[in-house]
Amino acid sequence: MQLGSLSRWLKKDAPAFEGQMFSASVHGRGKDVVFIHGLAASPECWEEAGEFLGPDVRCHLLHMRGFSGLAPSGFREPMNFLKPMADAIAGYIRTLKSGPVAVVGHSMGGIVSLILARDHADVVDRLSVVDVPAFFSVLINPFATPGSIAGIAQHTRRSYASKTKPQLHDEFRSSTPRLVSDPAMVDRIVRWGMTSDLATIADVMAEVMVTDLRGDLAKIEAPVDVIYAWDKGSSGAKLGIDQVYTSSYQGLVRGRKLRIDNARHYVMLDQPDVFYGAVRDWLAR
């Protein structure tokens, strides 16, 4: 993390927006870009965006309620988080009165961003989806369907929701090194998870597992870039992960796919130069 990023986050400026589903902090001036974090994560994952993208970009860092220290929304319904979140983000973007904007979504935030672009074409100028297939569960089973995975999703939800704090800490501590290769980032990501609401994590995880957007991709009018990571420590080969993303996003009308090597799930933390270079190119097109 660069010094400027550290000082900014230690300062903890008050959010520029407080909504029922999320808050937003805004940094910089210029072209609006909305950043959406993932499950049990934090807007801190985008902390270097402003420095890498420069003074001509105004970064809107959303913080979804229920994650990394922000109390859950009282309006959340079981298995109904993704679509209401996308609708709320659309409302926020409309308040900016700057026309359609660029949107970047990581992991579960990428699923939300796809729903946003599908259902609110007027607010999305372009979309970048980071390290998540259009149907997450193909990473579990390439032949999965929402129906075949539903039982597993509910079992996962119940199992996760019943964990004690020590069990949850052990879970995050063992799984996080598979998500980021920089050991310095592991403690931070564990902290994001441990300060997230357990019921929200469990419920949204199950909803993500049964949400299949592959058939909806042709409805998305905005160009969609898909960035995904591969690392030599991954369980699969490059060709295999390429095939997963090619198959998952074959329904896109416009867009590109880019694999970033030597990075794990938090690609923006493992390879910030490469990642934000790709974002700059995407914004310039």
Question: What structural domains does the chain harbor?
Answer: 3-284 (3.40.50.1820)
The residue among 8 and 79 whose pLDDT is bigger is: 79
Higher pLDDT, 183 or 25: 25
Mean pLDDT of the region 114-120: 98
How sure is the predictor about 74, in pLDDT bands with cuts at 50, 70 and 90? confident
Give pLDDT, residue 235: 65
The rounded percent of the chain whose pLDDT value lies above 90 is 87
Higher per-residue confidence, 128 vs 14: 128
How would residue 77 be classed by pLDDT, with cut points 50, 70 and 90? confident
The CA dihedral of 15, 17, 18, 22, to the nearest 10 degrees, is -90
Read off the pLDDT of each residue in 246-265 and give the average, rounded to a whole number: 95
Residue 8 has pLDDT above 60, yes or no: no
pLDDT at 4 over 50: no
| Angle at alpha carbon of residue 40, lines to 257 and 260, rounded to 5° | 25
The CA distance from 79 to 158, in Å, is 13
pLDDT band at 76; cut points 50, 70, 90? confident
Task: For residue 249, name the pLDDT band (cuts at 50, 70, 90).
Answer: very high
pLDDT interval class at 11 (50, 70, 90): very low
State yes or no: pLDDT of 164 exceeds 80. Answer: yes
Q: What percent of the chain has pLDDT over 70?
A: 95
Structure confidence by residue, pLDDT tens digits, 199-246: 999 999 999 999 999 999 999 999 999 999 999 877 678 999 999 999
Give the pLDDT confidence of 79-113 residue by residue, as tens digits. 999 999 999 999 999 999 989 999 999 999 999 99
pLDDT of residue 10: 36
What pLDDT shows up at residue 150? 98
The answer to whether residue 132 scores a pLDDT higher than 50 is yes
pLDDT class of 182 with cuts at 50, 70, 90: confident
